[in-house]
Structure 1
Amino acid sequence: MFLFLSAILCDSLVCILVSDSPVQILGLGVGINYGQIANNLPSPSRVSYLLRSLNISRVKLYDADPNVLVAFSNTNVDFIIGLGNEYLQNMTDPIKAQNWVLQRVQPHLPQTRITSITVGNEVFKTNDHQLWSYLLLAMQTVYNTLVDLGLDKQVTVTTAHSLDILSVSYPPSAGAFRQDLGEYLHAILNFHAQIKSPFLINAYPYFAYKDKPNEVPLDYVLFQPNQGTVDPITNLIYDNMLYAQVDAVYSAIKAMGHTDIEVRVSETGWPSKGDENEVGATPENAGLYNENLLKRIEEKQGTPGKPNVPIDIYVFALFNENLKPGPASERNYGLYYPDGTPVYNIGVQGYLPELVYSSPGTKNALSVSSALLILVFAYLISA
């Protein structure tokens, strides 16, 4: 059912005008990465409304931005928050880890639903071997802090890996981790198994297509109809690359003696724009990738190797981020422009409230009615 709602929400001299346009509900259980490397993004309170209009209830941050966490108070949105790589050395110190949790996590619980902390992001993609050695100890120290504070049942600990931790990714059943990472990943896997937290990967079929567009079929990476590929060892048929990548990670984990760890996709997406050498970075391809991916998630599909485990995915990303370094594609992964306009059509429509600036007199005249409308609005959202 669509909600039709007209309200004017006033705060200081700024009013948020919520139109009575119908909002199409997404409701797919997909997660979204909410990156903020930009200087033109809407406020977290407006983003909160946008995501709830899409019925997205899982968000991944790359930090623990208190403005975001406060804006999503009492919204029933689950958050993964991040500790950047620059914090890893400090997080090996129990006192510093405790101070961070006390300052950045505990004050937001339980009104904001923080379910996980990613300690570091793609650490093994760096050439900093000292950073590699800090990773597990930092994860353990943060987890022990959560235990000491009685928060470990609410909040788990993990880290996100780039797919290049694999030395072999095809066929999926032969998936293997890089030898130089063996000792690190074996210990990290033991930790995941001990605390029952998921193994996160950032998987982008786009990169494989961009690097070898004449060898990698576009339909195969875009979830379009295709003849697929057959794993010669298992005879399993793969009709898309993402599922093959996930199963390759499962195989690599199994080769290290674990079948008790769930693999989740913490990032995947497709850029709508790129540099001249970034083949395939178009709005059409990005739209197909994400629309087809959402359909798979809605169907609660598992991979061929794990057919009974619905694949868990966080799409990258909510907005285009204009300050991200690197090639043009890095700034064009968003589903939305910062003004709330969809970058391309994937069959769903959310609503970002507009900002309307009013005079002090207007504000005073509307203050009483606005307060009442806020209560009505909050009630309808929570109902």
Structure 2
Amino acid sequence: MATLFRALLVLLALTDLFVNILSLGIGINYGQIANNLPSPSQVAVLVTSLNISRVKLYDADPNVLSAFSSSNVDFVIGLGNEYLQKMTDPKQAQTWIEQHVQPYLPQTKITCITVGNEILSGNDTQLMAYLLPAMQTMHEALVNLGLSKQVYVTTAHSLAILGNSFPPSSGTFRQDLAERIQPILSFHSQTNSPFLINAYPFFAYKDNPGQVSLEYVLFQPNPGFTDPNTNLNYDNMLYAQIDAVYSAMKAMGHTDVRVKISETGWPSKGDPNEVGATPQNAQLYNGNLLRRIAQQQGTPAKSSVPIDVYVFALFNENQKPGPASERNYGLFYPNGTPVYNVGLQGSTPHMDGLLGSPPHMEYSASKKNALSIYTLLLFSLVSVIMLERWRIYRN
């Protein structure tokens, strides 16, 4: 403990490193399917204390948008699947923007509206038919209101829209979805908006732990594999998934649309059959991913384009349906303490003094058993990066 504490103090004293870590542009998904979460105003203090610069919502919660007023946090807001049919009507689309976007600008930085979530990988063909028209109508409403330069429109897809993903250079979209995806790609090209993917290497490992290497999905050292068509080496699954999407878009004639990861993460707990859902693996996945972000890495096929990721999720959500893993993707418990053990216990006044006084938060966590919320948040997000840099510094 003493050694770790001294290491952290030295690292924090290296101002350039500290600033570099805080300027990563980390994106986080802020889900609210729970009955025990802190208030939006408390969450705003936590998020801005860390310089987390991007937050993604699944709705347009007015309480959240108001709480983040003047925070300089970029917001992605969501339009639920149930709204798609209505949003094909230009009048309703414009009314929605006037009610859910305009009142918060420019104090709250809303930069994106996601229209629906994982529509094309579902079974509702009627929703699929509404998706692109709703996206187009929302964009046109933004144009009419003079907001299209600051707010773009997109939608998020599951990787299930891929018909083939291995090797990455052979990535293709499903044939039955091609006629729907092609015009969506054209929309992105015309509006300069990104193609969003929800990517979870955890699912591939859980479903086939005997064939999928744990080191490969957790960004741990491993030989990886070489794509026989490009001779590019892949040492982690997420990058291979991203490049498979780029290949699928290229096969449809589009090399002008950027892929962004709207969700990725790893659960800290799961049902007995959910192999790999542990705090240790979750910490490795998210910690190693943050290290890659700090290095501004691109994928093997897009080495000059840093990966753009929204981590899932900020909090555990105790009312999410489905297997236990669905309720355990959070980096933090609702009381603000980190889910993963970062090796820091007890109260450390000197560290609090070094970082400045933490913001006042009305959480129930015991002061005797936890650091300040500010410090816990900071070190849970960057501890892996900092410890690695400490080893380099020491040697």
TM-score, L = length of structure 2:
0.82
From the superposition, tell whether residues 356 and 201 of structure 1 become closer, same or farther in structure 2 (CA, over 3 Å).
closer
Query: 1:347, CA displacement in angstroms?
Result: 8.7
- SS of match in other structure, 2:65: helix
The answer to whether 1:85 aligns with 2:92 is no
Structural RMSD (CA): 2.0
Aligned partner of 1:97 in structure 2 is: 93
The answer to whether 1:354 aligns with 2:361 is yes
Query: 1:138, CA displacement in angstroms?
Result: 0.1
Query: Which structure has more RCO (C-alpha within 8 Å, separation ≥ 6)?
Result: 1
Q: Check conservation: 1:340, 1:352, Cα contact below 8 A.
A: no
TM-score, L = length of structure 1:
0.85
Alignment of 1:251-262 (within 5 A): 251-262=247-258
From the superposition, tell whether residues 340 and 151 of structure 1 become closer, same or farther in structure 2 (CA, over 3 Å).
same
Question: Distance in 2 between the 1:356 and 1:49 partners?
Answer: 13
From the superposition, tell whether residues 61 and 344 of structure 1 become closer, same or farther in structure 2 (CA, over 3 Å).
same
The answer to whether 1:130 aligns with 2:98 is no
Q: Check conservation: 2:161, 2:173, Cα contact below 8 A.
A: yes
Question: Distance in 2 between the 1:60 and 1:346 partners?
Answer: 25
Query: 1:148, CA displacement in angstroms?
Result: 0.1
Aligned partner of 2:185 in structure 1 is: 189
Query: 1:25, CA displacement in angstroms?
Result: 6.8
Aligned partner of 2:137 in structure 1 is: 141
Identify, as 1 or 2, the structure richer in helix.
2
Q: Check conservation: 1:97, 1:142, Cα contact below 8 A.
A: yes
Taking only the aligned residue pairs, the percentage that are identical comes to 71
Question: Distance in 2 between the 1:278 and 1:353 partners?
Answer: 38
Identify, as 1 or 2, the structure richer in strand.
1
Q: Give the counterpart letter for 1:107 in structure 2.
A: P
Q: Check conservation: 2:194, 2:258, Cα contact below 8 A.
A: yes
Alignment of 1:41-190 (within 5 A): 41-190=37-186
From the superposition, tell whether residues 267 and 356 of structure 1 become closer, same or farther in structure 2 (CA, over 3 Å).
closer
- SS of match in other structure, 2:120: helix
Question: Distance in 2 between the 1:151 and 1:98 partners?
Answer: 11
Q: Check conservation: 1:275, 1:327, Cα contact below 8 A.
A: yes
The answer to whether 1:292 aligns with 2:299 is no
The answer to whether 1:267 aligns with 2:274 is no
Question: Distance in 2 between the 1:347 and 1:146 partners?
Answer: 48
Q: Check conservation: 2:21, 2:294, Cα contact below 8 A.
A: no
**1:333 alignment partner, one of 311, 329, 334:** 329
- SS of match in other structure, 1:288: helix
From the superposition, tell whether residues 164 and 240 of structure 1 become closer, same or farther in structure 2 (CA, over 3 Å).
same
Q: Check conservation: 2:335, 2:363, Cα contact below 8 A.
A: no
- SS of match in other structure, 2:310: strand
Q: Check conservation: 1:34, 1:319, Cα contact below 8 A.
A: yes
Q: Give the counterpart letter for 1:82 in structure 2.
A: G
Q: Give the counterpart letter for 1:339 in structure 2.
A: N
Aligned partner of 2:23 in structure 1 is: 27
Question: Distance in 1 between the 2:136 and 2:113 partners?
Answer: 12
From the superposition, tell whether residues 57 and 345 of structure 1 become closer, same or farther in structure 2 (CA, over 3 Å).
farther
The answer to whether 1:216 aligns with 2:223 is no
Question: Distance in 2 between the 1:222 and 1:151 partners?
Answer: 40
Question: Distance in 1 between the 2:363 and 2:120 partners?
Answer: 46
Q: Give the counterpart letter for 2:249 in structure 1.
A: I
- SS of match in other structure, 1:120: strand
- SS of match in other structure, 2:205: helix
Q: Give the counterpart letter for 2:139 in structure 1.
A: Y
Query: 1:44, CA displacement in angstroms?
Result: 0.6
From the superposition, tell whether residues 356 and 133 of structure 1 become closer, same or farther in structure 2 (CA, over 3 Å).
closer
Question: Distance in 2 between the 1:320 and 1:27 partners?
Answer: 25
Question: Distance in 2 between the 1:260 and 1:104 partners?
Answer: 30
**2:237 alignment partner, one of 224, 233, 241:** 241
Q: Check conservation: 1:25, 1:55, Cα contact below 8 A.
A: no
From the superposition, tell whether residues 89 and 27 of structure 1 become closer, same or farther in structure 2 (CA, over 3 Å).
same
From the superposition, tell whether residues 347 and 111 of structure 1 become closer, same or farther in structure 2 (CA, over 3 Å).
farther
Question: Distance in 2 between the 1:90 and 1:347 partners?
Answer: 50
From the superposition, tell whether residues 225 and 124 of structure 1 become closer, same or farther in structure 2 (CA, over 3 Å).
same
Deviations 1:180-213 (A, max 9, x none): 1000000100000000000000000000000000
Deviations 1:16-42 (A, max 9, x none): xxxxxxxx9743211000000000000
Question: Distance in 2 between the 1:144 and 1:75 partners?
Answer: 28
**2:277 alignment partner, one of 255, 266, 281:** 281
Q: Give the counterpart letter for 2:361 in structure 1.
A: E
* Unaligned runs of at least 5 residues, structure 2: 1-8, 10-19, 345-350, 365-395
Question: Distance in 2 between the 1:347 and 1:57 partners?
Answer: 26
Question: Distance in 1 between the 2:193 and 2:363 partners?
Answer: 44
Question: Distance in 1 between the 2:338 and 2:48 partners?
Answer: 16
